[in-house]
Amino acid sequence: AKEAGRNRYQFYSADMTARAIERLGLEHDLRGAVERAEMFLVYQPQIELATEGIIGAEVLMRWRHPEHGLISPCRFIPVAEDTGLILTLGEWALRESCRQAQSWRERGLLEACISVNVSAVQFRQTDFIDVVKRALKESGLLPGCLELELTESVVMQGVEPTLAKLRELDALGVKVAIDDFGTGYSSLSYLRQFTVDRLKIDRSFVRDLPGNIDAEAIASAIVAMGLNLGLRIIAEGVETQAQAEFLQSVFCKEGQGYLYAWPMDADEFETWVKAWQS
């Protein structure tokens, strides 16, 4: 037993070292990744469940590493946040998303909004609103065609700079969605003081629908209370027809997930949209 314990310890510490080294490597490689054109954006359609019409698209970041290939944002976003590199990456993603959305609008391909993920680190910057304004101005995209996805923890801090920024976005006409909703500790009544437009029910609740009583109760409670507050509700991670049907039965009208489409690069997205609409 002692022997096994020692081996386990050695394995564990070697693993930790490997991870620390990997992280340093990622951090190093992430610098300049935008300039080297290693980053790109993918787009996942958002669907009106009843009609299966396209009502939006979420923009997700991808990193094609020259040696390691595609690296998941779950791995590089935390590194980017810790190092502040998220500011450059996030601004690039916002500007590129607005440019792409406006180009699709001008060509009559997509009327719908695009939803861009914004990290807490980015949102907390004092010049965040200026960054948004600049992206809109240089692209010519109407503010109402842009939605920002903020996580529950960012919004629910409820501190004055946050509230002021949410009010400014509202005044601009930019939409705000609360991402991963249900995973934080917020009370829904608290939501009333925020000028948000939409809630995204986290995938962890959608995954166990239908059949899991707890997941069903949570999903339907979020929808009912959200609707009462006048918010739109979208479910993320919709993978099956049964999930889509359950969501509709509790009056959730919007969904996003592999049942409809994977996130696609801009060219694939265009092709998908044309095929979906014909």
Q: Which residues bind ligand C2E (CB under 6 A)?
A: 44, 60-61, 72-74, 77, 90, 93, 117-119, 179-180, 203, 236-239, 257-258, 263
| Closest distance of CB 154 from Ca ion, Å | 12
Site string for Ca ion, 199-238 (x = CB under 5 A): ---xx--------------------------------x--
Residue that is written with structure tokens 């948004």 in the block? 132
Q: Which of 29, 147, 179, 197 binds Ca ion (CB under 5 A)?
A: 179
Q: Does 44 bind Ca ion (CB under 5 A)?
A: no
By beta-carbon proximity to Ca ion, the closer residue of 27 and 40 is 40
Q: Does 117 bind Ca ion (CB under 5 A)?
A: yes
CB 269 within 8 A of CB 260: no
By beta-carbon proximity to Ca ion, the closer residue of 91 and 179 is 179
Residue 190's binding partner among ligand C2E, Ca ion, none (Cβ under 5 to 8 angstroms by kind) is none
Residues 146-175 that bind Ca ion (CB under 5 A): 149
| Closest distance of CB 141 from ligand C2E, Å | 17
By beta-carbon proximity to Ca ion, the closer residue of 29 and 218 is 218
| Closest distance of CB 179 from Ca ion, Å | 4
Residue 77's binding partner among Ca ion, ligand C2E, none (Cβ under 5 to 8 angstroms by kind) is ligand C2E
Using H for helix, E for strand and C for coil, what is the string for the chain? CHHHHHHHHHHHHHHHHHHHHHHHHHHHHHCCCCCCCCEEEEEEEEEECCCCEEEEEEEEEEEEECCCEEECHHHHHHHHHHHCHHHHHHHHHHHHHHHHHHHHHHCCCCCCEEEEECCHHHHHCCCHHHHHHHHHHHHCCCHHHEEEEEEHHHHHCCCHHHHHHHHHHHHHCCEEEEEEECCCCCCHHHHHHCCCCEEEECHHHHCCCCCCHHHHHHHHHHHHHHHHCCCEEEEECCCCHHHHHHHHHCCCCEEECCCCCCCEEHHHHHHHHHHHHC
By beta-carbon proximity to ligand C2E, the closer residue of 59 and 145 is 59
| Closest distance of CB 82 from Ca ion, Å | 20
| Closest distance of CB 256 from ligand C2E, Å | 6
How far apart CA 93 and CA 163 sit, in angstroms, is: 24
By beta-carbon proximity to ligand C2E, the closer residue of 83 and 171 is 83
Residue that is written with structure tokens 């590089």 in the block? 76
Residue ranges binding Ca ion (CB under 5 A): 117, 149, 179-180, 202-203, 236
